[in-house]
Amino acid sequence: MNNLAAELSREQTTLLTTMAQQYLMEGTWPVWHFTVATLDRHDLDAEELIRSLPRVGSTGHVGPSYGLTSHIGFHIADDDRPALTIAACLHLPELRPYVSDPFLRVLQTLIVLQSSAPVSTQEAVRPRFTIADIERELPGLPKGFTARLPGILALEPATWGGSSGTTAEGKWWRELHREIRQYRDATKLMEYVRITARLITAQAGATLPTPALPEPVSVPRHTPGPYVDEALITDLEDKDTVFRVDKLLALVRELNANYADQHPYACQMLLRAILDHIPPAFGESTFQGVVANVSWGRTDKAYVKKLADFRNGADDVLHRQISAHPSRIDMYDLPPRTYVNALLQGVLVHLPAVRQRQGS
């Protein structure tokens, strides 16, 4: 039986990352033709890779199963949109703030709604919830998440079962079933995947023992390698520019060191310092000016705009005062390294060069 938390190959990770990056930028999963064509450029077979991903439960055409994608091993049409599941977030930290973290908050809210719903003595009626219920209970969900929530819930075993539909006014609703209470302890991503693997294995009638997922402490808390690419740091160091980059290089190296040592507070503060330090390299005085006024490519523009949102994490680290409540900041709250590397590549390109002297 496959382990959903097992380390993936570089090629498998490339497949998931290709799908996830488009989802983060566009809010919808890409058509399969896009994923196949993108991986073809890397001489990778998308069909073979998606079939190779770990999955628990039934291995045939009958019986429940659950894996890192909605695809269950059969043919995918070019215009199909296979999606990544919550379990895929174990391997893609960039998805967690926008997918698994809000999903787990919604899941716990649904458990409360189910357990507290009134029960009729005269008819068997399952409680229902709507998007409005979720928005009322959880007003701080990421922008656009609730619009995508029906599709996310449809993929997850915790919210399988029960009817769904729209009211006469066109509002979406879904039933809550009592089995959702089995996820009371699923407040963290690893625990959710662990419970799901156990339940799916049991439902599939497997005779093998439930796959033992590693404890959360044994799962890598950061992506392999440095947070900021070392070659990029070298290029910044070698840049012949009118600006002094000693402070920028020091901040970036300290960021890499604290990322490797898993210090989330230091990483948040250092990243904020970098965002506040680099605007003059683009001819701007603020990071908002960098986002709004600098000419970026389409993908890099999306990355830089999202980095502006991560400034709030540094505000939390720097300005939230001590209280009776525990801190919830961890390494998963950092922006994906892809975003930061794209920004610093932009710094490298825009740094004004030293003008060549005329004459001899």
208 — pLDDT class (breaks 50, 70, 90) = very low
**Tell me, what's the pLDDT at 60?**
60
- The pLDDT score that the predictor gives to residue 80 is 93
- Residue among 217, 203, 215, 212 nearest 160 (CA): 203
Model confidence band, residue 269 (pLDDT cutoffs 50, 70, 90): very high
Q: What's the pLDDT at 222?
A: 38
Helical spans, DSSP H, in 243-286: 246-260, 264-277
Q: Is the dihedral of CA 253, 258, 262, 264 positive or negative?
A: negative
Return the closest-CA partner of residue 337 out of 107, 17, 78, 16. Answer: 17
DSSP 94: G
- Chain position carrying tokens 């400034």: 311
pLDDT, residue 59, reads 66
* 311-348: pLDDT as tens digits: 777 788 888 888 887 777 777 778 888 889 999 999 99
pLDDT confidence of residue 206:
45
Q: Where are the domains of the chain?
A: 1-219, 230-350
Q: Is the pLDDT of residue 271 over 90?
A: yes
Q: Which pLDDT score is estimated for 358?
A: 45
pLDDT grade for 168, boundaries at 50, 70 and 90: confident
Burial (0-12, 13-18, 19+ Cβ within 10 Å), 157: buried
How many angstroms separate the CA atoms of 19 and 38, rounded? Answer: 10
Distance CA(86)–CA(67), nearest Å, equals 9
- Quick one: pLDDT at residue 187? 92
**Are the C-beta atoms of 5 and 56 separated by less than 8 Å?**
no
* Alpha-carbon distance values, 153 to 119, 138, 205, 220 (Å): 24, 16, 24, 27
pLDDT band at 4 (very low <50, low <70, confident <90, very high): very high
Q: Kindly state the tokens that stand for 325.
A: 């409540």
**Under a CB-based contact definition with an 8 Å cutoff, are residues 56 and 202 in contact?**
no
Checking phi first, is residue 192 left (phi over 0); if not, alpha (psi -120 to 50) or beta? alpha
When pLDDT is cut at 50, 70 and 90, the band that residue 87 belongs to is very high
Q: Give the pLDDT score at 209.
A: 45
Please list the residues that pair with 128 across neighbouring strands: 175
Q: Whole-structure pTM over 0.85, yes or no?
A: no
Mean pLDDT of 202-230: 57
Most confidently modeled range among 37-41, 142-146, 161-165, 205-209: 37-41
**For 29-60, how does the pLDDT look when each residue is reduced to its tens digit (9 = 90+)?**
999 999 999 999 989 999 999 999 999 987 66
Give the chain's mean pLDDT: 85
pLDDT band for 282, please (50, 70, 90 cuts).
very high
